């Protein structure tokens, strides 16, 4: 039986992906900053462990507690919607610490065991925002584009050891806690950018547009982990698939 470790499983894509792997007979190590008993139904193949991807000690501890794994899914992430003028350097650091450095540090932590056994796969969840520039998402997009570049580059050095890297690019998923979490920490949008913000907000809540569901992401992550012939970049969600085709990616 194979084991996958997934980051950011308290809600959204991570939660759904953990359940998806359990349903398919995998052992799942579902990690989250604050483990709670009621997030998952009990399952003999499920372990819930504490992990904050921004803390080196937390990463060391979870890797030791987890034992051997076959796949790592770097899903934990935070959003930041505002004009560049409306964000603090501290909030920029937070986004990069979680989305970018957290992903790189987790990858670095699992590589030794994957290299030694000459097998393993790391799937990084980024976003379709990296395929097309959007308003008020410059910092978030930069944090995810860096992960794309990192993933494709490190994949080269790991190829001789039969260690695979993949990128899953979800589209807009209003059903997760992502926007709620991002809005909770959002500073006021500077007055000059309010018309842009209103247009973005109207676009986000437009009814009838195709969106991404957590299940789409779970399916794409499963393909990335289990199918060695899968492409490096896998769009997840109907909006993501449409955009990927538009930009000539798929």
CB 29 within 8 A of CB 9: no
Helix or strand holding residue 140 (H, E): helix 138-158
How many other CB atoms are there within 10 angstroms of residue 73's CB atom?
32
CB of 15 to ligand NAP, least distance (A): 7
CB of 56 to ligand NAP, least distance (A): 12
Q: Is 13 in the site for ligand NAP (CB under 6 A)?
A: yes
The side-by-side arrangement of strands in the sheet containing 27-32 is 46-50, 27-32, 3-6, 71-74, 120-125, 163-170, 233-236
16, two tokens: 């759904």
Touching ligand NAP, residues 140-199 (CB under 6 A): 170, 172-173, 176-178, 181
Query: Between residues 19 and 54, which has the closer beta carbon with respect to ligand NAP?
Result: 54
Which listed residue (18, 46, 71, 76) binds ligand NAP by CB under 6 A?
76
93, two tokens: 């650091």
CB of 180 to ligand NAP, least distance (A): 7
Which listed residue (26, 40, 63, 75) binds ligand NAP by CB under 6 A?
75
Query: What's the burial of 71, exposed, middle or buried (CB within 10 Å: 0-12/13-18/19+)?
Result: buried
Touching ligand NAP, residues 83-102 (CB under 6 A): 98, 102
SS3 content of the chain, % helix, strand, coil (to 5): 50, 15, 35
Query: Of the listed pieces 2-10, 113-121, 155-163, 197-205, which binds ligand NAP according to CB under 6 A?
Result: 2-10
Q: Beta-strand (E) ranges in 40-174?
A: 46-50, 71-74, 120-125, 163-170
Touching ligand NAP, residues 27-56 (CB under 6 A): 32-34, 51-54
Active-site residues, by number, are: 140
> Would you tell me which residues interact with ligand NAP (CB under 6 A)?
7-14, 32-34, 51-54, 75-78, 98, 102, 125, 127, 170, 172-173, 176-178, 181
């Amino acid at each position: 039986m194979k084991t996958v470790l997934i980051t950011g499983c308290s809600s959204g894509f991570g939660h759904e992906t953990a359940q998806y792997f359990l349903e398919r007979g995998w052992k799942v190590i579902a990690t989250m900053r604050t483990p709670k008993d009621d997030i998952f139904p009990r399952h003999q193949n499920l372990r819930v462990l504490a992990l904050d991807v921004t803390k080196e000690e937390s990463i060391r501890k979870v890797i030791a507690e987890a034992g051997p794994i076959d796949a790592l899914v770097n899903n934990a992430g935070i959003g930041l919607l505002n004009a560049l003028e409306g964000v603090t350097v501290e909030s920029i650091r937070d986004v990069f610490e979680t989305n970018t450095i957290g992903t790189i540090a987790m990858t670095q932590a699992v590589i030794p065991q994957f290299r030694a056994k000459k097998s393993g796969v790391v799937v990084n969840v980024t976003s379709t925002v990296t395929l097309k520039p959007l308003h008020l998402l410059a910092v978030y997009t930069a944090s995810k584009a860096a992960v794309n570049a990192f993933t494709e580059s490190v994949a080269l050095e790991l190829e001789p050891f039969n260690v695979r890297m993949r990128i899953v690019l979800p589209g807009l998923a209003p059903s997760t806690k992502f926007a709620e979490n991002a809005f909770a920490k959002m500073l006021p949008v500077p007055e000059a950018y309010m018309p842009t913000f209103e247009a973005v907000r109207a676009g986000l809540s437009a009814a009838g547009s195709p969106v991404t569901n957590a299940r789409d992401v779970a399916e794409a992550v499963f393909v990335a982990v289990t199918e060695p012939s899968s492409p490096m970049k896998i769009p997840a969600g109907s909006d993501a698939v449409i955009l990927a085709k538009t930009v000539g990616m798929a």
